[in-house]
C-alpha cells in the first residue's frame, strides 16, 4: 500500500491464513507468518520474491524484531516462540510457553519479552538471554488477553482483554496491575502514543477507544471513533501521525484500510 497516495500497489499470493508481518530494514527482508500454512516465508523487500521458507511452525502468528541482536521472534503452535536469525532465517531454537502466544512485546533496554498467553490466563515474562520464562503475571478476573502495548520508559505494560472488555495496566517492575478501565468489545490491537500520552484501542465491535494517560497509574476515556464491523487489526505509525485500521468485507462494503490522522 502506498500510504501517501492512499492506494494499493500490489498484492502477494500463495499464503494460508497469513497473520504476522515483519520488515527487517538492515537485510531488506520481509518475514510473513502463515497460520494454516505452518510456516514463515522470507521475501526480498524490493521484489517481494521468496528467498526461503521456515516450515513446521503450526499456527504461526505474531512476529517481532530485536534490532540489537538481529533476531526475529515468532509465536507459534500450542506454546512456543521460535527465534530466527534475521540475516539468514536460520532457526535458533524455541522458547517454551504454557499455551499459544498472542501479542508480545520486547524491551529495547532490557532482556525481557512480555507475552500474552490467553489459555493460561497470564502474561509470561521471558528472559531472551536465558531463553526461558522467568515469571508469570496473572490476568485477574478477566480472560482472552490478546492485544498488548509497552511503555518501556514509563515502566507500564498495557493488556487488552475481551471477557470482560478491559484495559489492564501492569507495572513492569512489580508485575502488579495498577489500573483497569472498561473498553469496547472484541479488541485485538492497541498502541501507545508516547508523544501524546494516549492509547489507541482497536475494537472489533466497530470503534477505536482513545484513552488518555493522566499519569502512569491513572487513565480515562478521552473519546471514541467509529470504524467498521469486525475491524480490529491496525497499525500505528507515529512518524506520519496515522493510525491504520483493516476493515474486512461485510455485505456490500469491500475490504479496505481506514486511515486516521492523529491530532
What stretch of H or E contains 169? strand 165-171
pLDDT (mean) for 133-153: 97
Rounded CA separation 135/123 (Å): 8
Residue 27 confidence class, pLDDT cut points 50, 70, 90: very high
For the stretch 194-220, pLDDT in tens is: 999 999 999 999 999 999 999 999 999
Instruction: Determine contact, residues 223/260, Cβ cutoff 8 Å.
Output: no
Residue carrying the nine cell digits 507468518: 33
C-alpha cell at 169: 495496566
- Nearest to residue 62, comparing CAs of 81, 78, 89, 79? 81
For the stretch 41-84, pLDDT in tens is: 999 999 999 999 999 999 999 999 999 999 999 999 999 999 99
Residues 6 or more apart whose CB falls under 8 angstroms from that of 61 comprise: 19, 20, 33, 35, 74, 75, 76, 100, 101, 102
For the stretch 73-115, pLDDT in tens is: 999 999 999 999 999 999 999 999 999 999 999 999 999 999 9
Distance linking the first and last C-alpha atoms of the chain? 23
Q: What is the pLDDT of residue 60?
A: 98
Report the chain's mean pLDDT, rounded to a whole number: 97
Q: What is the pLDDT of residue 140?
A: 87
What percent of the chain shows pLDDT beyond 70?
100
C-alpha cell at 95: 522458547
pLDDT (mean) for 124-145: 97
Amino acid at each position: 500500500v502506498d500510504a501517501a497516495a492512499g492506494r494499493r500497489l500490489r498484492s502477494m499470493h500463495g499464503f494460508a491464513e497469513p497473520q504476522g508481518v515483519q520488515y527487517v530494514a538492515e537485510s531488506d527482508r520481509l518475514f510473513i507468518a502463515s497460520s494454516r500454512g505452518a510456516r514463515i516465508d522470507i521475501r526480498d523487500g524490493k521484489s517481494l520474491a521468496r528467498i526461503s521458507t521456515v516450515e513446521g511452525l503450526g499456527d504461526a502468528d505474531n512476529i517481532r524484531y530485536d534490532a540489537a541482536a538481529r533476531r526475529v521472534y515468532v509465536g507459534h503452535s500450542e506454546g512456543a516462540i521460535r527465534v530466527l536469525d534475521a540475516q539468514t532465517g536460520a532457526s535458533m531454537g524455541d522458547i517454551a510457553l504454557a499455551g499459544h502466544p498472542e501479542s508480545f512485546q520486547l524491551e529495547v533496554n532490557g532482556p525481557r519479552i512480555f507475552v500474552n498467553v490467553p489459555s493460561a490466563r497470564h502474561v509470561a515474562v521471558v528472559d531472551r538471554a536465558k531463553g526461558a520464562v522467568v515469571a508469570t503475571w496473572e490476568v485477574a478476573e478477566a480472560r482472552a488477553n490478546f492485544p498488548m502495548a509497552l511503555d518501556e520508559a514509563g515502566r507500564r505494560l498495557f493488556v487488552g482483554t475481551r471477557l470482560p472488555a478491559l484495559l489492564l495496566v501492569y507495572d513492569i517492575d512489580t508485575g502488579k496491575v495498577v489500573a483497569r478501565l472498561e473498553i469496547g468489545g472484541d479488541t485485538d490491537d492497541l498502541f501507545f502514543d508516547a508523544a501524546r500520552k494516549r492509547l489507541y484501542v482497536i475494537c472489533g465491535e466497530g470503534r477505536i477507544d482513545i484513552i488518555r494517560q493522566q499519569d502512569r497509574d491513572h487513565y480515562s476515556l478521552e473519546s471514541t471513533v467509529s470504524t467498521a464491523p469486525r475491524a480490529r487489526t491496525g497499525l500505528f505509525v507515529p512518524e506520519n501521525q496515522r493510525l491504520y485500521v483493516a476493515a474486512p468485507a461485510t455485505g456490500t462494503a469491500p475490504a479496505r484500510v481506514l486511515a486516521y490522522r492523529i491530532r
